C-alpha cells in the first residue's frame, strides 16, 4: 500500500552551535517564512535563514541555510517549545516552565514583557476568535490542574479564560472555540466560549497523549494500541481510526495526509482511507511540524524538510501500480482543495477508466468515461477498423493508457474481444441516445454500424433507417465483410440510391448473394410499391415478372399514375406482359374491371382470355364443376357488364360451344332477343334467368321495350309448335303472375290458347282488373287537382294585373338615382322601382339582391307569391 507522498530533503545539516565538541542537541523547531528557529537542550535559541531552490531539470528541491544569530536564555534548561507570531514580530518560548517572548529578528527579550510561569505546554489557536491580525490567541497548560487562554499583543498578555481540569493537562490543540486536551488518562473537548465540556475517551497512563488539529473542529488523538482517533468538536468521530506506530513523538497534518514521527520512522497515513501510505526511516527524530504550508522534521542534529511529492506525480505513481481507488480518492480530495485543476482531474478519471476498462470492470469504466466526458474516439480507436480511415484522430499525448488495441488486451481471445465489443456497443448506444448533437457523431454512428454488423445484425435495419451518419465506403466494406448485404442495400436506399439497393436485393433473391437477414421477395415488392417511382418499376418489371407474375402485376397496378394510364404507355406495358398470361389477365382485369377503361381491345382481349379459361377447364380430363362454374360466372359477368368488346368475334367462338347462357348474353348485346330467349328457354331451360333477361336487357324507363321482351318470352312459352310446349304452361303462368304490370292484358288474352281454363288465369286476371281500375281512378283524381290549380293561378294573375302604381316626379330610380323619363319601368314585388335599363335581372332585386321566382314567363312586375293551398 505504499506510495511516495513526501521526500526527505536536508535543510540544516550537522547543526553545530559553538564548536565540534559541544554536544548541543535540537529539542524543537519553528519556522516562519524563511526563518527557522531551533530550540536546544542547552538553553539556546538559534536563528537561521533558509533559501529553497528547485532544480529546473529534475524538479528536485534543495535548501541552503545560513545562521543569523543565537541567544542563550541563561537557565541551562532545554528550550521545550517555540512558536512565532510574525505579525507581532515575536517568538514565544517555553523554557524552564516559563513562557516568555523575544524579538523574532534580534532575539532580544521584549522589554517589560510579561511572562507566564508554571507552564507545561502551550499551543496557538489555529483559527483565532479575535479577528485582529496583530494579536495571537494561545492556550497554556499549567502545572496546577488548569488551562488558560491568553490574548497576546505586541507588549501585552491578557488572560481570557481559565479552565480548571480534573488533573494536570498534558497536551492540547485549539481551533476556533474548540479546545481539545488530554490529561494523564482522558481526552476531552471544551468549548472555550460556553465552557461546555465533552469527554471523549479514557486511556491508561502508559500512553503519551497527543492532540493534533486536523481542520476546524476536527482533532486527531493518539489512543491505545497505536491508534489515531479522529474526533469532532461534537464529541463524535467521522472516520475510523488510523493505525500508526508506538512511541509516537510528534504528529503533523498536511492534507490529506497525517505524518507521524517515532524514534525510527516518519509514517504517512491518508485520512481518506485511513491507510498507511509511506514510511520513511528517520532515526532519532525529536520534532515534526507543519509550519505555514511547510513540513520540517528534526533529529538531534539535523533538520530536514518533508517535501510533498506533487499530487500529479503521486497520482501517476498510484496509477502505474493500478491502485485506482486510492488514486481517485486522492484526486477527488486534491480537486476539492484546488491542488488539482478540473482538467487534470478528468484526465485522472480517464486514466482510471482505461485501467478499469482493461480489467473488464466495464461499469466503473463507463461511469468514469461519462463523468470525464471522454472523447469517444479515444475509446473507438482501441478497436481495430472501427474509426473511419478518413478520421483525422490521433490519441491524446501523453497517452491515457498503454493499450495498443483490444485485440492485444484480450490476447486474441475471440470471446473476450466480443465482451469488449459489447461494451463499446452499449457505451456508444448510451452516448447516441443522450442527445441529438453528440460530438463526433459520424464516428459514433459508423462504429455502431460496424458493431451491429458483428454482434447483432438483426438490429441493423432499424439502425440504418433511423437516419444515421454511416454511409462511408469503409462502413459498406465492413458490412460486406460480414455478409450484411441487406444492410448495405438499406444504406443505399436511405441515401437515395434505389437502383443500387434493388440490384443487391435482386441478387440476394437470385441467390448470388447470401444474407439471411433479408426478409425475402415480398420485401422488394413492398419496397417498389411504396416507392411509386415509374423508372424503378420499369427497370425491374421483367425481373419481377420472372419471379412472380401476379405480384409483379400488383406492383404495376399500384404504380398507376394518371400518366401511366395513357394509351401508349398501357400498350407498351401489355406488349411486355405478352409472355406472361397470368400477369396479362390480372392487368387487363385491372384495366377493364377496376379502371373501366373504355377501350375495345382490352375488353375483347379479356373476354377472349376468360373464354379460353372456361374452355380449357371444360376440356380438361378431370373437369371440376366448381372451377368451371366460377370461371363461367366471371366470363358472364364481363360479357354482361361490358358493352365494348367485339360481340361478333366472341359470339363466333361461343356458338361452337355449349355455353348457352353466354351465348344468350351475346345475342342480347346484338338485341337479338328472340334468339337469346329461345336459347334460355329451350337449351338452358332456366326460366328464372329468362325472366331476369327481360328485366336486365331493358331499362326501367323503357317500359315499352320491357313489355315487348315479356311478350316475346310469353310467346315462346306458348309456342304450340314446340314439342315441349306442354311443360311450359307452368312457367308461362308464373311469368304472368309475377310480372303482370308489364303485360298488356288484352294482348295476353289474345295469345292465350283457347283451351286454357279461366282458373289458370284467374289470379292474373283479377289483379289486372284491379290494377286498371286503380289506374283510371288515379288519373281522374289527377285531372281534377290540376284543374283546381289552374283556376287558382288564373285568379292570382287577375288580382295582380288589376293593381296599379303611380309614378310621381319625386320618385327616382333606386339604382341610378335619376328621374324617370320613359313611361316604362320595372317594379319588384318588394316595392323597388328602377329603370328598365338599370336592372340586370327580372328575378333579382337590384337593391336588396333578393331572389324572386325564376319562372321564365313571369315578369318582375307581376310576380305572384307561391301558390297557396289549392284545395
Partner 1 sequence: DLKVVIMGAASVGKTTIIHRYIEKRFQETISTIGASFSLKQWGPYNIALWDTAGEERFSGLSSFYCRGAGAAILAYDLTSDDSFHALRARFKGLLEAAEDDCLVVVVGTKLDMVTEENRAVPPQDAKALARELNTQQLTELPYFETSSLSGHNVDRLFEYIFQHCLPVNESGQAIAEPKNRKRSGTVDL
Binding positions for partner 1, rule: CB under 8 A: 200-203, 223-225, 227, 229, 231, 234-241, 243, 272, 329, 332-333
List the one residue out of 294, 286, 293 whose CA is nearest residue 28: 286
Q: Cis ω on the peptide bond leading into residue 256 (within 30° of 0)? A: yes
DSSP codes, 135-197: -EEEEEEETTTEEEEEEE-SS-EEEEEEEE-SS---EEEEETTEEEEE-SSEEEEEETTT--E
- Closest CB to partner 1 among 205 and 723? 205
Q: What share of the chain is helix, strand, coil (3-state, %, to 5)?
A: 45, 20, 35
CA atoms within 13 A on the CB side of 363: 0
Burial 568-602, CB ≥16 within 10 A → b, else e: eebeebbebbeebeebbbbbbbbbbbeeebeeebb
- Closest CB to partner 1 among 227 and 800? 227
Contact of 285 with 299, CB cutoff 8 Å = yes
For the chain, how big is the Rg over CA atoms in Å? 59
Minimum distance, C-beta of residue 214 to partner 1, in the bound complex (Å):
11
Minimum distance, C-beta of residue 186 to partner 1, in the bound complex (Å):
9
Minimum distance, C-beta of residue 356 to partner 1, in the bound complex (Å):
19
Minimum distance, C-beta of residue 334 to partner 1, in the bound complex (Å):
11
- Closest CB to partner 1 among 197 and 202? 202
Rounded distance, CA 810 to CA 565, Å?
A: 69
Minimum distance, C-beta of residue 339 to partner 1, in the bound complex (Å):
14
Contact of 177 with 164, CB cutoff 8 Å = no
Helix (H) or strand (E) holding 842: none
Start-to-end C-alpha separation, the chain: 122
- Closest CB to partner 1 among 80 and 272? 272
Helix (H) or strand (E) holding 269: strand 265-270
Neighbour count for residue 19 (Cβ, 10 Å)? 7
- Closest CB to partner 1 among 258 and 272? 272
- Closest CB to partner 1 among 109 and 217? 217
- C-alpha 667: how far from its chain's center? 70
Minimum distance, C-beta of residue 306 to partner 1, in the bound complex (Å):
23
- Closest CB to partner 1 among 203 and 717? 203
- φ/ψ region of 458 (left if φ > 0, alpha if ψ in -120 to 50, else beta) reads alpha
- Closest CB to partner 1 among 235 and 483? 235
* DSSP annotation of 593: I
Minimum distance, C-beta of residue 269 to partner 1, in the bound complex (Å):
13
Contact of 684 with 667, CB cutoff 8 Å = no
Minimum distance, C-beta of residue 330 to partner 1, in the bound complex (Å):
10
Minimum distance, C-beta of residue 264 to partner 1, in the bound complex (Å):
21
Minimum distance, C-beta of residue 201 to partner 1, in the bound complex (Å):
4
Minimum distance, C-beta of residue 276 to partner 1, in the bound complex (Å):
13
Residue 516: C-alpha distances to residues 134, 502, 513, 519, 548 (Å): 87, 16, 10, 8, 21
Beta partners for residue 101, in sequence order: 92
- Closest CB to partner 1 among 200 and 286? 200
Sheet of 90-95, strand order: 79-85, 90-95, 98-103, 116-117
Minimum distance, C-beta of residue 282 to partner 1, in the bound complex (Å):
24
DSSP codes, 674-702: HHHHHIIIIII--HHHHHHHHHHTS-TT-
Minimum distance, C-beta of residue 316 to partner 1, in the bound complex (Å):
21
- Closest CB to partner 1 among 234 and 247? 234
Rounded distance, CA 42 to CA 362, Å?
A: 64
User: Phi, psi (5° rounding) for residue 720?
Assistant: -75, -10
- Closest CB to partner 1 among 67 and 332? 332
Minimum distance, C-beta of residue 200 to partner 1, in the bound complex (Å):
6
Beta partners for residue 511, in sequence order: none
- Closest CB to partner 1 among 224 and 581? 224
Q: Cis ω on the peptide bond leading into residue 48 (within 30° of 0)? A: no
Cell of 694: 327481360
Minimum distance, C-beta of residue 364 to partner 1, in the bound complex (Å):
16
- Closest CB to partner 1 among 275 and 657? 275
- Closest CB to partner 1 among 211 and 714? 211
Minimum distance, C-beta of residue 317 to partner 1, in the bound complex (Å):
20
Contact of 493 with 505, CB cutoff 8 Å = no
Minimum distance, C-beta of residue 196 to partner 1, in the bound complex (Å):
14
- Closest CB to partner 1 among 225 and 435? 225
- Closest CB to partner 1 among 226 and 531? 226
Rounded distance, CA 571 to CA 439, Å?
A: 56
Neighbour count for residue 416 (Cβ, 10 Å)? 15
- Closest CB to partner 1 among 232 and 372? 232
366: which residues sit within 8 A by CB, 6+ positions away? 423, 426, 427, 430
Neighbour count for residue 531 (Cβ, 10 Å)? 16
Amino acid at each position: 500500500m505504499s506510495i511516495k507522498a513526501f521526500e526527505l530533503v536536508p535543510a540544516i545539516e550537522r547543526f553545530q552551535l559553538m564548536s565540534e565538541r559541544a554536544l548541543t542537541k535540537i529539542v524543537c523547531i519553528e519556522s516562519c517564512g524563511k526563518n527557522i528557529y531551533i530550540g536546544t537542550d542547552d538553553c539556546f535559541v538559534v536563528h537561521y535563514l533558509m533559501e529553497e531552490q528547485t532544480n529546473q531539470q529534475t524538479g528536485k528541491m534543495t535548501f541552503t541555510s545560513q545562521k543569523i544569530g543565537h541567544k542563550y536564555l541563561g537557565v541551562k534548561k532545554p528550550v521545550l517549545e517555540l512558536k512565532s507570531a510574525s505579525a507581532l514580530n515575536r517568538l514565544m518560548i517555553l523554557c524552564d516552565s516559563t513562557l516568555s517572548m523575544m524579538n523574532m529578528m534580534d532575539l532580544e527579550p521584549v522589554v517589560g514583557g510579561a511572562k507566564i510561569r508554571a507552564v507545561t505546554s502551550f499551543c496557538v489557536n489555529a483559527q483565532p476568535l479575535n479577528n485582529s491580525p496583530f494579536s495571537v490567541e494561545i492556550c497554556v497548560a499549567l502545572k496546577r490542574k488548569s488551562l488558560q487562554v491568553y490574548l497576546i499583543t505586541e507588549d501585552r498578555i491578557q488572560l481570557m479564560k481559565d479552565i480548571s481540569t480534573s488533573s494536570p493537562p498534558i497536551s492540547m490543540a485549539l481551533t476556533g472555540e474548540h479546545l481539545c486536551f488530554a490529561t494523564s488518562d482522558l481526552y476531552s473537548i471544551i468549548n472555550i466560549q460556553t465552557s461546555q465540556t465533552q469527554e471523549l475517551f479514557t486511556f491508561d497512563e502508559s500512553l503519551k497523549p497527543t492532540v493534533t488539529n486536523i481542520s476546524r473542529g476536527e482533532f486527531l488523538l493518539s489512543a491505545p494500541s497505536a491508534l489515531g482517533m479522529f474526533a469532532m468538536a461534537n464529541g463524535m468521530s467521522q472516520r475510523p481510526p488510523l493505525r500508526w506506530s508506538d512511541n509516537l513523538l510528534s504528529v503533523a497534518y498536511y492534507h490529506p495526509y497525517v505524518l507521524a514521527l517515532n524514534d525510527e520512522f516518519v509514517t504517512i497515513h491518508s485520512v481518506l482511507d485511513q491507510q498507511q501510505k509511506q514510511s520513511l526511516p528517520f532515526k532519532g527524530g525529536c520534532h515534526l511540524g507543519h509550519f505555514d504550508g511547510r513540513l520540517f522534521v528534526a533529529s538531534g542534529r539535523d533538520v530536514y524538510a518533508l517535501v510533498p511529492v506533487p499530487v500529479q506525480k503521486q497520482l501517476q505513481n498510484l496509477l502505474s501500480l493500478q491502485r485506482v481507488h486510492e488514486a481517485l480518492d486522492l484526486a477527488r480530495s486534491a480537486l476539492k482543495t484546488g491542488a488539482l485543476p478540473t482538467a487534470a482531474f478528468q484526465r485522472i478519471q480517464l486514466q482510471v477508466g482505461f485501467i478499469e476498462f482493461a480489467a473488464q470492470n466495464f461499469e466503473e469504466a463507463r461511469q468514469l468515461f461519462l463523468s470525464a466526458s471522454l472523447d469517444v474516439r479515444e475509446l473507438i480507436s482501441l478497436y481495430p477498423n472501427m474509426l473511419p480511415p478518413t478520421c483525422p484522430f490521433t490519441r491524446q499525448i501523453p497517452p491515457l493508457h498503454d493499450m495498443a488495441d483490444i485485440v492485444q488486451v484480450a490476447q486474441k481471445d475471440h470471446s473476450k474481444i466480443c465482451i469488449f465489443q459489447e461494451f463499446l456497443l452499449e457505451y456508444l448506444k448510451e452516448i447516441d441516445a443522450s442527445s441529438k448533437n453528440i460530438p463526433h457523431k459520424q464516428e459514433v454512428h459508423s462504429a455502431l454500424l460496424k458493431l451491429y454488423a458483428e454482434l447483432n445484425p438483426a438490429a441493423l435495419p432499424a439502425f440504418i433507417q433511423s437516419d444515421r451518419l454511416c454511409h462511408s465506403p469503409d462502413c459498406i466494406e465492413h458490412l460486406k465483410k460480414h455478409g450484411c448485404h441487406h444492410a448495405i442495400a438499406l444504406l443505399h436506399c436511405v441515401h437515395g440510391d434505389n437502383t443500387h439497393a434493388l440490384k443487391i436485393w435482386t441478387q440476394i433473391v437470385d441467390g448470388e448473394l447470401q444474407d439471411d437477414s433479408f426478409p425475402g421477395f415480398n420485401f422488394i415488392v413492398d419496397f417498389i410499391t411504396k416507392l411509386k417511382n415509374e423508372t424503378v418499376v420499369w427497370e425491374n418489371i421483367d425481373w419481377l415478372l420472372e419471379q412472380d407474375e401476379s405480384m409483379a402485376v400488383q406492383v404495376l397496378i399500384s404504380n398507376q399514375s394518371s400518366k401511366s394510364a395513357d394509351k401508349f404507355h398501357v400498350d407498351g406495358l401489355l406488349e411486355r406482359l405478352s409472355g406472361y398470361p397470368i400477369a396479362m389477365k390480372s392487368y387487363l382485369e385491372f384495366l377493364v374491371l377496376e379502371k373501366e377503361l373504355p377501350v375495345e381491345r382490352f375488353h375483347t382481349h379479356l373476354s377472349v382470355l376468360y373464354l379460353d379459361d372456361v374452355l380449357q377447364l371444360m376440356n380438361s380430363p378431370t373437369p371440376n364443376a366448381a372451377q368451371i362454374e366460377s370461371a363461367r360466372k366471371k366470363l358472364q359477368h364481363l360479357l354482361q357488364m361490358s358493352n365494348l368488346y367485339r360481340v361478333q368475334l366472341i359470339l363466333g367462338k361461343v356458338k361452337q360451344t355449349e355455353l348457352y347462357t353466354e351465348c344468350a348474353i351475346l345475342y342480347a348485346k346484338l338485341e337479338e332477343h328472340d334468339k337469346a330467349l329461345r336459347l334460355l328457354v329451350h337449351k338452358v331451360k332456366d326460366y328464372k334467368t329468362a325472366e331476369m333477361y327481360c328485366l336486365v336487357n331493358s331499362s326501367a324507363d323503357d317500359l315499352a321495350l320491357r313489355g315487348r321482351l315479356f311478350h316475346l318470352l310469353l310467346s315462346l312459352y306458348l309456342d304450340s309448335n314446340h314439342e315441349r310446349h306442354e311443360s311450359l304452361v307452368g312457367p308461362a303462368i308464373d311469368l304472368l303472375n309475377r310480372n303482370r304490370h308489364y303485360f298488356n292484358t288484352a294482348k295476353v288474352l289474345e295469345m292465350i290458347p283457347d283451351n286454357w281454363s279461366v282458373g289458370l288465369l284467374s289470379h292474373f286476371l283479377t289483379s289486372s282488373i284491379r290494377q286498371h281500375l286503380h289506374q283510371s281512378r288515379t288519373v281522374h283524381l289527377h285531372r281534377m287537382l290540376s284543374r283546381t290549380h289552374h283556376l287558382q293561378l288564373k285568379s292570382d294573375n287577375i288580382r295582380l294585373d288589376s293593381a296599379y302604381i303611380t309614378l310621381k316626379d319625386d320618385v327616382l330610380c333606386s339604382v341610378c338615382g335619376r328621374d324617370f323619363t320613359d313611361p316604362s319601368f320595372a317594379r319588384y314585388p318588394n316595392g323597388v322601382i328602377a329603370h328598365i335599363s338599370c336592372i340586370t335581372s327580372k328575378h333579382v332585386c337590384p337593391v336588396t339582391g333578393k331572389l324572386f321566382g325564376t319562372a321564365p314567363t313571369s315578369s318582375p312586375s307581376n310576380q305572384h307569391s307561391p301558390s297557396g293551398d289549392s284545395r
